[in-house]
Amino acid sequence: MADQNFVDYVKICCRTGKGGAGSAHFLRDRHNPRGGPDGGDGGRGGHIILRGSTNTWTLLHLKYRKHIIAGDGVNGSRNNSSGAYGQDVILDVPLGTVAKDAETGKIEFEITRQGEEKTLVQGGRGGLGNSHFKTSTNQAPDYAQPGEPGKEEWKILELKVLADVGLVGFPNAGKSTLLSAISAAKPKIADYPFTTLVPNLGFVKYRASQSFVIADIPGIIEGAHEGKGLGLRFLRHIERNSTLLFMVPCVTKNIAQEYEVLVNELCQYNPELLDKPRVLAITKCDLVDAEIIEMLRQDLPKDIPAVFISAVAHQGLDELKDLLWKIMNLDSTP
Do 109 and 154 belong together in one domain? yes
Residue 217: alpha-carbon gap to chain centroid: 15
- Asked, for residue 193, whether it belongs to a domain, the answer is yes
- Count of structural domains, the chain: 2
Contact at 8 Å (CB) between 232 and 225?
yes
Mean pLDDT of the chain: 85
N residues, the chain: 334
Do 205 and 231 belong together in one domain? yes
Point out which residues pair with 213 in neighbouring strands.
203
Do 22 and 96 belong together in one domain? yes
Pairing of strands 163-168, 241-249: parallel
Do 90 and 51 belong together in one domain? yes
- Asked, for residue 334, whether it belongs to a domain, the answer is no
Q: Which of 128, 159, 190 is at the close of a domain?
A: 159
Do 50 and 128 belong together in one domain? yes
Q: Which of 114, 142, 159 is at the close of a domain?
A: 159
Q: CB-based contacts of 14: which residues, under 8 Å, 6+ apart?
A: 48, 68, 120, 121, 151, 152, 153, 154, 155
Cβ atoms within 10 Å of 289's Cβ, excluding its own:
9
What is residue 154's predicted lDDT score, i.e. its pLDDT? 97
d(CA 20, CA 35): 24
What is residue 191's predicted lDDT score, i.e. its pLDDT? 47
Instruction: Output the tens digit of pLDDT for each of the chain's 334 residues.
Output: 344 566 788 999 999 999 999 999 998 877 777 788 999 999 999 999 999 998 888 888 998 888 999 999 999 999 999 999 999 999 999 988 999 999 999 999 999 899 999 999 999 999 999 999 999 889 889 999 999 999 999 999 988 777 789 888 888 788 888 888 888 655 444 443 444 446 677 888 888 778 888 888 776 655 544 444 444 556 677 777 889 999 999 988 899 998 998 888 888 888 888 899 999 999 999 998 888 999 898 889 888 999 999 998 999 999 999 999 999 887 544 3
- Asked, for residue 14, whether it belongs to a domain, the answer is yes
What is residue 52's predicted lDDT score, i.e. its pLDDT? 95
What domain range is 237 assigned to? 163-328
Q: Where in the chain does DSSP place strands (E)?
A: 9-15, 48-52, 67-69, 89-93, 97-101, 107-111, 117-121, 152-159, 163-168, 200-205, 211-216, 241-249, 278-283, 306-308
Do 111 and 194 belong together in one domain? no
Nearest to 227 by CA among 269, 189, 185: 269
What is residue 4's predicted lDDT score, i.e. its pLDDT? 52
Do 256 and 127 belong together in one domain? no
Contact at 8 Å (CB) between 17 and 46?
yes
- The angle subtended at Cα 311 by Cα 182 and Cα 176, nearest 5°, is 70
Q: Which of 111, 130, 159 is at the close of a domain?
A: 159
Do 78 and 187 belong together in one domain? no
Do 44 and 183 belong together in one domain? no
Nearest to 262 by CA among 285, 279, 241: 279
What is residue 310's predicted lDDT score, i.e. its pLDDT? 92
- Asked, for residue 145, whether it belongs to a domain, the answer is yes
State whether residue 97 is helix, strand or coil.
strand
Do 99 and 194 belong together in one domain? no
Do 16 and 142 belong together in one domain? yes
* Domain CATH for 31: 2.70.210.12
What is residue 304's predicted lDDT score, i.e. its pLDDT? 92
DSSP-derived secondary structure for 198-215: S-EEEEEE-GGG-EEEEE
Sheet holding 211-216, edge to edge: 200-205, 211-216, 163-168, 241-249, 278-283, 306-308
- Asked, for residue 333, whether it belongs to a domain, the answer is no
Pairing of strands 117-121, 48-52: antiparallel
Q: Where in 16-148 does DSSP place strands (E)?
A: 48-52, 67-69, 89-93, 97-101, 107-111, 117-121
